[in-house]
Amino acid sequence: MNQKEVVLGVDIGGTNTAFGYVDRDGNLLAEAVMPTEAHRPAEEFFARLHTEAENLFASKINQLKLVGIGLGAPNGNYYKGTIEQPPNLSWKYVDVVATLKKWYTIPVVLTNDANAAALGEQLFGAAKGMKDFIVITLGTGLGSGIVANGELIYGHDGFAGEIGHTIVDPNGRHCGCGRRGCLETYASASGICRTVEELLKAPAPPSELRALDPKNITSKRIFEAAQHGDTLALEAFDLTGKYLGMKLADSVAHTSPEAIILFGGLAAAGDFIFTPTKKYMEQFLLNIFKNKVRLLPSGLPKGNSAILGAAALIWKELLKK
């Protein structure tokens, strides 16, 4: 019986970890989710992951051949195969590749979650056929993956592509990185909530969001208000798009991408975030770049895009060989 070659794609999150087996065409053949339990030691997590992944594989063992493992994780270092000082995880430094080699002899590759998303778009999503593009992940924070000349840019140390930590305002909002005014404090799910909190301090305009406890205001709730035509919510999206568009214009000057792809929860707001972002990006672009860069939504299926991104990472490595 011919066995189909698959890779294990793993997306490590602060709360949950999703994983699944993916073939070279991007078909997700089996998937599961387990709690990360980030407060516990990393060694325990990877032992649980191995057990859970093996249990999932057992149901397909006669049909599939596992040829590699790709992982996307916060602060994942591609060169070293390590996770270093990750936000929302209690682990300080973990040699992920060495840990997994206890159980596997196949290739194992790791990168950060935004880089994995970029490779997922390149192999299976909106960036198919492109050699120059940027993926922006708009979640709790803002991550980015930059592809130039067909290759993901890692930099000399593996940490290139931190557009979310470029500065919008040197005296601006405090960021979790310890500095002030980072883009992700303005353009992210948490950033738009902070914008709404600031807008609510003024007596006008009227808004349905004024009836809520500020602690209960989420990006989803702001989106719903914008759908109702709420003036304050629409202003928040416009400001978010302004900051994002401005910094994307800067990013275009560095690599001249064919497209920028918005990925993640806040991108699901559709035109509410795409329209102002595109408007301000064009406004701030150097003339030679105007009307050349497409702003696109993710082309990956919702729900399993992170797994596909991690799988694309290892498939790309295997295809090089």
Per-residue confidence band for 319, with pLDDT thresholds at 50, 70 and 90: confident
DSSP string, 209-237: GGGS-GGG--HHHHHHHHHTT-HHHHHHH
CATH number at residue 143: 3.30.420.40
pLDDT, position 1: 56
The widest CA-to-CA distance across the chain, in whole angstroms, is 71
What gap in Å lies between CA 135 and CA 126, rounded to an integer?
A: 10
Q: Per-residue pLDDT averaged across 280-296, rounded? A: 98
* One domain, residues 43 and 108: yes
Distance in angstroms (rounded) separating the CA atoms of residues 38 and 230: 38
DSSP 8-class letter at 296: E
Residue 135 and residue 257 in one domain? yes
pLDDT at 262: 97
Statement to judge: residues 174 and 293 lie in one domain: yes
C-alpha to C-alpha distances, 133 to 23, 47, 48, 50, nearest whole angstrom: 24, 36, 36, 34
pLDDT tens digits, one per residue of 259-276 = 999 998 899 999 999 999
Using an 8 Å Cβ cutoff, are 267 and 299 in contact? no
Answer yes or no: do 113 and 134 share one domain: no
Q: List, for residues 140-150, the tens digit of each pLDDT value.
A: 899 999 999 99
- Tally of domains in the chain: 2
Backbone angles phi, psi at 148, to 5 degrees: -135, 135
> Does residue 189 contact residue 139 with C-beta atoms inside 8 Å?
yes
In this structure, are 291 and 146 located in the same domain? Answer: yes
The reply to whether 257 and 116 lie within a common domain is no
Both 316 and 234 in one domain: the answer is no
Mark whether 184 and 249 lie in a shared domain.
Answer: yes
pLDDT digit string, tens, across residues 2-38: 789 999 999 998 889 999 999 999 999 999 999 999 8
Provide the residue range defining the domain that includes 264.
130-297
Nearest alpha-carbon partner for 32 in 54, 4, 63: 54
36 close to 71: Cβ distance less than 8 angstroms:
no
Q: Are 271 and 209 in the same domain?
A: yes
The mean per-residue pLDDT over the stretch 79-105 comes to 92
Same domain, 14 and 104: yes
Tell whether 197 and 254 lie within a shared domain: yes
pLDDT grade for 256, boundaries at 50, 70 and 90: very high
Amino acid at 201: K
Contact 255, 148 (CB under 8 A): yes
Mean pLDDT across the chain: 94
Taken in order 47, 265, 182, 311, the sign of the CA dihedral is positive
Q: What is the pLDDT of residue 61?
A: 76
Residues 84 and 101 in one domain: yes
> Which pTM does this prediction carry?
0.92
pLDDT at residue 259 in the model: 98
